Amino acid sequence: MKKIKFACNLSLLTLFALGQWACEWDPYEHDSDPVRETLELTASSSQIALDENDLSATVLTFDWTPARPMPDEYLVSYTTKLDLLNNNFGSSTAIVTSEDDGIFSRSYTSEQINNWANERWKVPVNKTFTLAFRVIAEYAGGPTYEMPEVRTVEVTVTPIKVDVFDADKVSLSGTAISSVTEIEKTVENANLYAWYGELSIGELQIPVELEGQTYYIVPSDGNGALRDGELVDVKMTETPVSWNIPSAGNYRLLIDMENKQVRIYSSATDLKPLSVTFHPSGAETNPEATIEVLDLYAYGAGTGWGVRKLNLKQSFADPQILIYDAEEHNGTKLSSGMKFCVAQNFSVGDADYNQNNAYCFTCPLTAEGKRQNLTLTLGKVGELHGGADGETRNSYYTIPASDLLIFDLRHGTILARNK
């Protein structure tokens, strides 16, 4: 029994000693040394600006030191990756290079980075962005697996400044308008945005959405004073400049995207509809009539020789541009021979007249001033002649079936085209 008791006491002492040894043992002090990495990576600058005047020159260089040396049976290779920071070196976005032996540097030109930013990474125009560059040293061969060494640096890039003047969406905003209002391209001109409506005293801004970014159309000279009815050169910037609206009322606003100009009309300078003054039937003996042209009445073979009111729509850009849109007339397209009268029935004094006596628009007369019938070519602007004389009233345009028929009374043209 005593031997057994001694053995039990010895076991307890052994366990206690092992416990004390375990508490004092530090594996980080007694285990094998951690990997001593030697790879270091630096960028020539943490901030760069792309140079449009010297695109082929090097603008950014990355240098790195060799990774830790290993026995000869190990082969070390270096791979570099360049990408936008937020892309996380995605397979479809990263620029990956397997570097040659003995190469410890990688350089890029302004042209390379600019092209990748625009085409590969889809960076918004004029948007500052951050690049991430990574170098990876990997080991192959040898009896055991060796952890690669990885280093990454970031560089902020100022892009080449582009004179942007385009839009996915154009709006009006500011204290001069009751709510943010989108404005549309005109039917007659895809490069022209137009709006007509009421403004109050205050500030008017023109925000533009383009590729997910917001810009503002502003006066090129920074002067926000209203130049009533005048053309103003404009540009697009990231910060707004407001036009000052001095009085409440109706305004017409035109934005010419092609020529980079804005024109704002108040009611005092606004464009007016066309008014024609004529003697009915072109007879000097008939009293003079004046009619404001807000609509036209078609007459001819294309209407079965009946009068058809066209219910034309005024362009926001100019009340003298009148538009027939077949979509707004249940898909009905105008076609065949027609002239376009300014009235169906009208009176001058005690005398009553109809479309046969009215001023009308049609094809031009012959060189001798005689009547003729012409065919309007689809998609081609034609001359629009007007008058109340018999030769004009007996001339007819053959209209091609089209989605749109656009009368520009100010410039004397007509256009039939599809959308």
In a shared domain, residues 152 and 179? no
Is 64 among the domain residues?
Answer: yes
Contact 307, 297 (CB under 8 A): yes
Q: Is residue 145 part of a domain?
A: yes
- Kindly state whether residue 139 falls inside one of the protein's structural domains: yes
- In-domain check, residue 1: no
Contacts of residue 123, Cβ cutoff 8 Å, sequence gap at least 6: 84, 117, 129, 159
Cα 317 from Cα 189, distance rounded (Å): 10
- E strand or H helix at 98: strand 95-98
pTM assigned to the model: 0.73
- Residue 284, C-beta contacts closer than 8 angstroms, at least 6 positions apart: none
Based on the fold, state whether residues 219 and 97 are members of the same structural domain.
no
336 Cβ contact partners less than 8 Å away, ≥ 6 residues apart? 300, 301, 302, 398, 399
How is the chain split among helix, strand and coil, in percent rounded to 5?
Answer: 15, 40, 45
For the chain, what is the radius of gyration of the CA atoms? Answer: 39
Both tokens of 96, joined, read: 């990956």
Would residue 8 count as lying in a domain?
no
Beta bridge mates, 385: 362
Same domain, 340 and 320: yes
Going by their DSSP bridges, the two strands 129-141 and 149-158 should be labelled as antiparallel
Same domain (yes/no): 352, 397? yes
* Same domain, residue pair 329 and 411: yes
Flag whether 10 is in a domain.
Answer: no
Residue 31 lies in a domain: no
Give the domain-ending residue among 265, 299, 327.
Answer: 265
| Number of domains forming the structure of the chain | 3
Instruction: Find the CATH number of the domain harbouring 70.
Output: 2.60.40
If asked whether residues 244 and 310 sit together in one domain, one would say no
102 torsion bin: left (phi>0), alpha (psi -120 to 50), beta (else):
left
The domain boundary residue, chosen from 210, 240, 265: 265
Contact 263, 206 (CB under 8 A): no
Task: Per-residue pLDDT tens, the chain, 419 aa: give them.
Answer: 334 443 334 344 444 444 444 445 454 454 545 778 999 999 999 999 999 999 999 999 999 999 999 999 999 999 999 999 999 999 999 999 999 999 999 999 999 999 999 999 999 888 899 999 999 999 999 899 999 999 999 999 999 988 888 999 999 999 999 999 999 999 999 999 999 999 999 999 999 999 888 999 999 999 999 999 999 999 999 899 999 999 999 999 999 999 999 999 999 999 999 999 999 999 999 999 999 999 999 999 999 999 999 999 999 999 999 999 999 999 999 999 999 999 999 999 999 999 999 999 999 999 999 999 999 999 999 999 999 999 999 999 999 999 999 999 999 999 999 99
Q: Which of 227, 246, 265 is the C-terminal boundary of a domain?
A: 265
In whole angstroms, give the CA distance from residue 126 to residue 17.
Answer: 71
CATH number for 255: 2.60.40.3620
Whether 330 and 233 map to the same domain: the answer is: no
Range of the domain at 375: 275-417
Q: Judge if 52 and 86 occupy the same domain.
A: yes
Whether 192 is covered by a domain: the verdict is yes
Nearest 5 degrees, angle CA 350-CA 356-CA 357?
45
Q: Within this chain, do residues 247 and 286 fall inside the same structural domain, yes or no?
A: no
